[in-house]
Amino acid sequence: MGSNQEENCGFIKVSTENFNGNDVKSTSSSVKILNIPWKFTVSEENKKLKFELLCNDKSANTIWNCHWDVEITMNSSNWKAEKFEKNRNYQKVFDFTNKSFGGVLFEEKEYQNGKFEIQVRLKMMRVYGHRKRKIINYSIEHPRFSNGILVIENREIHVNKQILAMHSKFFYALFFGEFNDKEKKITEIRDVSYDEFLIFLDFIHPTGRKIEEEFVEDLLKLADLFLADRILDYCEEFLIKTETMDMAKKLVWSERYSLSASMNHCLKSFKTMDMFIQLKKSEYYQEISDDVKSSLLERAFQLHKLRNFQSL
């Protein structure tokens, strides 16, 4: 998880299983908080459960630093006691020469059952040399900005109806079409995740947020549901540019959400027959439709013809 609605704050969560003092497990989570990349890793070493927090670790820039309050909370309902909770609090300054921070969470005797939740709460105190992302708190009313309330999962979200309507045909029809809801101050939206909708709102508003692989599927789903074409364009651009995502997954989403440019890019990216073989090994291969498989077969035929022509 990334930034939430608390000012200048963000959270990272990891879940651990089968940590039992045998030095065999590690788990990590990577997020961006206020436009700064973080990675949190939990691992076993020398019969101890250790953590490492990395800040902006891929940056070649040397002229930045930031001061953060770090709170680490660990809990488990399956501990020796019925309920266990433990907290660690730190204040840390990160910069080019101090990108990492780590320590011991537990000794071996403290985590014998090996399944628990760890949450890192990061609150930025100051930053230099790095532009932080704009955070909009949708949970409170902004008198010059808010003129409507959406209720999702029994929680209120304050919105500007005109801005939503500009970006979403669904909300244009809801607020300004021939619906009874257009006169309501409060409108309930069902079957949608509160946290996922906040991410959707960040791409409606000028927050400067960047799409991440962690939530791009959720964003695609909501952009399609609410008929938000520009956000679908953002997602398509991300799928085309990212090189780390599973190709079968890209093909499935490109067809599902009618992303023709992404589909074309995926098909053209197949340059060798070995790439088709690797595609079949993907856990998402079975989700690829017969129509897309037909396009893949045509692409393989084109490559085969080209190879034969070049061998003449």
Is residue 141 one of the residues assigned to a domain? no
Residue 82 has pLDDT above 50, yes or no: no
pLDDT digits (tens, 9 = 90+) for 32-49: 887 788 999 888 777 778
pLDDT digits (tens, 9 = 90+) for 117-151: 888 999 988 888 877 667 788 988 988 889 999 99
Is residue 139 one of the residues assigned to a domain? no
What's the pLDDT score for residue 310?
A: 58
Q: Are residues 28 and 100 in the same domain?
A: yes
pLDDT digits (tens, 9 = 90+) for 253-285: 999 999 999 999 999 999 888 999 999 999 999
Residue 13 has pLDDT above 90, yes or no: no
Based on the structure, what is the number of domains in the chain? 3
Residue at which a domain ends, from 218, 236, 254: 236
Q: Are residues 172 and 230 in the same domain?
A: yes
Residue at which a domain ends, from 236, 270, 298: 236
Residue 24 has pLDDT above 60, yes or no: no
φ/ψ (deg, to 5) at 236: -65, -45
The two counts, helices (H) then strands (E), for the chain are 9, 11
Is residue 138 one of the residues assigned to a domain? no
Q: Which domain holds residue 296?
A: 246-310
What average pLDDT is seen over the chain? 85
Q: Please, what is the angle between helix 194-204 and helix 229-241, to 10°?
A: 90
Q: Are residues 56 and 117 in the same domain?
A: yes
**Cβ neighbours of residue 269 closer than 8 Å, sequence gap 6 or more:** 247, 275
Region class of 26: left (phi > 0), else alpha (psi between -120 and 50), else beta: beta
Q: Are residues 220 and 263 in the same domain?
A: no
Q: Are residues 17 and 122 in the same domain?
A: yes
Q: Are residues 274 and 304 in the same domain?
A: yes
The label of the residue with tokens 């619906």 reads: 179
Residue 198 has pLDDT above 80, yes or no: yes
What's the pLDDT score for residue 144?
A: 85
Of 306 and 140, the structure prediction assigns the larger pLDDT to 140
Q: Which CB contacts under 8 angstroms, 24+ apart, belong to 39-48?
A: 40/12, 40/14, 40/118, 40/120, 42/14, 42/16, 42/105, 42/118, 44/19, 47/21, 47/23, 47/107, 47/108, 48/104, 48/105, 48/106, 48/107, 48/108
Q: Are residues 120 and 156 in the same domain?
A: no
Q: Are residues 197 and 285 in the same domain?
A: no
What is the amino acid identity at position 91?
Q
Residue at which a domain ends, from 236, 259, 294: 236
Q: Are residues 226 and 263 in the same domain?
A: no
Q: Is 172 helix (H, G, I), strand (E, B) or coil?
A: helix
- Closest to 64 in 3D by CA, of 31, 29, 34: 34
Q: Are residues 232 and 258 in the same domain?
A: no
Q: Are residues 68 and 167 in the same domain?
A: no
Both structure tokens of 130:
């790095």
CATH at 218: 3.30.710.10
What's the pLDDT score for residue 81?
A: 42
In angstroms, the CA 193 to CA 67 distance is 32
Q: What is the pTM of this model?
A: 0.67
